[in-house]
A and B are shown apart, each in its own frame.
Chain A
Amino acid sequence: MNFVGDENILELNRVVMAFGGLMALSNISFQVKRGMIKAIIGPNGAGKTTLFNIITGSFSPTEGKIIFKGLPIEHLKAHKIAQRGISRTFQTVELFGNMTVLENVMLGCHTRIKSSFFSSGFQLPRVRRREAQIKENAMKILKFIGLVDKFNYNAGSLPLGEQKILEIGRALASEPELICLDEPAAGLNETETHVASSLIRAINARGITVLLVEHDMKVIMNISDEIAVLNYGQKIAEGSPEEIQNNRRVIEAYLGSE
């Protein structure tokens, strides 16, 4: 948490997302500084996952700009954004259940594989070397997230807590500069939640900026440097955990006004 600098790694500028007549996001602007853990909270349906989908290129925003490392990315497709250095996890786990734990992480290295169709088909030596390199890299990540013993398990057979951790590992494999975690603690028990939050801290300590959507307030208040609050597609507050805890509008959004 000490790496926070002045540079904005990500900037959203008046982002609007409309699905037909439904305004999922209206005029959202905020900045994420390099090296911080920033959380986005808000009641269900506030637009948090939509925001993630826009940042990571699942859809393009209706209006507005998204600047990553000084360059606009709002028009790019998901795989291009991944190559620029943004990685993500999903709220409902989207692992490749028919692959092993190791293969899942190896797929995360995909952005850095530049193998062509023919060199792969003829299995040229450089393809084999690169494959070995990727495997080694993936094993390192499995060690880091604590799943190295299960490298050969089918990803679909892991308990939910480990699946969530594996998804984070897969996202790390692309060596992102910004990682977007969509509810990493959802559905986890207390021990698993603890594991997940220490992992997020450890990722951040490596210099990776973290953008986090989460419902578990204990996790949020513990690990985030800054919090933005969404309600009905609008940003209603932004600030440090203490400021947010005492913000009237936030309390109203969650508990209703008196």
Chain B
Amino acid sequence: MLRIGKIPIAVFALLIIAFPWVAHEIPSIEHYTDIMIFAGIYCLMTMGLSLLMGYTGQISIGHAAFYGIGAYTSAILTTRYGFNPWPCMLAGMIVTAIVAILVGAPSLKLRGHYLAMATLAFGIIVYIIFNEEAAWTGGPDGMIGIPGLSLFGFEFDSIDKYYYLVWTIVFVVFVFTTNLIQSGIGRALRAIHVSEPAAGAMGVDISRFKILVFVYSAVLASLAGSLYAHYLNFINPSTFDLFFSIKLLIMIALGGMHSIWGAIIGAGLITFLSYEWLHYFEEYEVIVYGAILLVVTVFLPKGLAGIPGIIKSWFRN
């Protein structure tokens, strides 16, 4: 059930490569490549969250904060100190990892949903810091002039180029995460989700694994934040508010948190809904998200990724 075949991965890679070409041919969706960049950035976060929630059974309501720490570390180090963006990205990931250990370790050593509470509070605090520490973060106005990315003289200065950069990273993270799930580590994570006493008795160091996965998902969020900052060249705190953390949860609930494919599908769909298809609803957008979450939890507890299983069982009966 967990084996992810070579063929679906190859199809996934082909779709990534082909998307901008197809989009160019159809004028009405030409700008979809731009939206796909954001979808890719969100995918990075949902893959980590899927591992954390779907496989390890821990809930984080503070990933927008890690996303923001990545973005602001990149922004501050590049604009105020003139560093090259790549080491800044790495610095953001290291800072995030340390913060994630400090926030996660105390609550992950306990059994139960303490992580959800700790991350909820943490997310709100970080959001306030982004707004109030104006000398560093520019306050509510945000920061402008964040440089774009280049590699060995090659500038990622067009939408298509940045698209390929982001989705290459998504693909690498996808393969890495898939390998992880299919290894002994993935087995241990699933075991923790089902029975902590049994996993412990079999020699699984429960708190270490929970912290490991939490830090991994936080670091991915930080990477996503840096990619976001260097793409838009501008950030402000409103991107990293509590609602965005919740939106991430809606993404993986919609896609199906027990499946890495679900994380990708969910991120893609919600991105297109919020950037494109829900403009008609204006400020009532939030209600639509609520409705989606409600419908999914009641009718599709395994998310969209669970649909093939449902169809299969229909045919069997």
Contacts and interface: CB of A to CB of B under 8 A. Distances in A.
Interface of A: 56-58, 77-79, 82-83, 87-88, 90, 94-99, 103, 106-108, 110-111, 113, 115, 117, 120-123, 127, 130-131, 134, 170-171, 173-174
Interface residues of B, number: 25
Contact of B180 (A88, A94, A103, A117): A117
Contacts of A173: 202
B91 to A, nearest CB: 19
B200 A57 contact: yes
B177 interface: yes
10 contacts: A57-B200, A82-B201, A90-B197, A90-B201, A96-B190, A98-B194, A106-B187, A107-B199, A170-B202, A171-B201
Contacts of B187: 99, 103, 106-107, 110
A107 B201 contact: no
Interface string B176-189: 11011001110110
Interface stretch (B36-44, B123-131, B203-211, B273-281): B203-211
A186 B216 CA distance: 42
A87 B204 contact: no
B212 interface: yes
Contacts of B176: 121-122
Contacts of A95: 198
A214 to B, nearest CB: 19
Chain B contact surface mostly: helix
A88 B201 contact: yes
Nearest to B195: A94
A107 B200 contact: no
Nearest to B216: A117
Given A120-B184, A121-B180, A131-B183, A97 B203 contact: no
B191 interface: yes
A145 to B, nearest CB: 16
A107 B195 CA distance: 12
B257 to A, nearest CB: 14
A87 B201 contact: yes
Given A96-B195, A120-B180, A78 B200 contact: yes
Contacts of A58: 197, 200-201
A215 to B, nearest CB: 21
Contacts of A79: 200, 202-206
A90 B198 contact: yes
A250 to B, nearest CB: 30
Nearest to A173: B202
Given A88-B201, A111-B203, A121 B188 contact: no
B183 A115 contact: yes
A123 B202 contact: no
B278 to A, nearest CB: 35
Interface in B110-167: none
A99 B199 CA distance: 13
Residue among B177, B185, B203 with the highest chain A CB neighbour number at 10 A: B203
A77 B200 CA distance: 8
Given A79-B206, A88-B201, A96 B191 contact: yes
B202 to A, nearest CB: 5
B185 A107 contact: no
B185 A120 contact: yes
A98 to B, nearest CB: 6
B183 A120 contact: yes
Given A120-B179, A123-B179, A94 B203 contact: no
A93 to B, nearest CB: 9
Counting from the closest, the 10 A-B pairs by CB-CB distance are: A111-B203, A78-B200, A82-B203, A94-B198, A120-B183, A121-B176, A123-B179, A113-B184, A94-B195, A96-B194
Given A79-B205, A96-B191, A121-B179, A110 B184 contact: yes
B197 A78 contact: yes
B201 A78 contact: yes
A58 B40 CA distance: 43
B261 to A, nearest CB: 17
Nearest to A123: B179
Given A79-B203, A108-B202, 8 more contacts: A77-B205, A79-B200, A82-B203, A98-B190, A99-B191, A107-B187, A110-B202, A174-B203
Interface string B231-258: 0000000000000000000000000000
Nearest to B179: A123
Nearest to B188: A110
Contacts of B197: 58, 78, 90, 94
A171 B201 CA distance: 9
Contacts of A111: 202-203
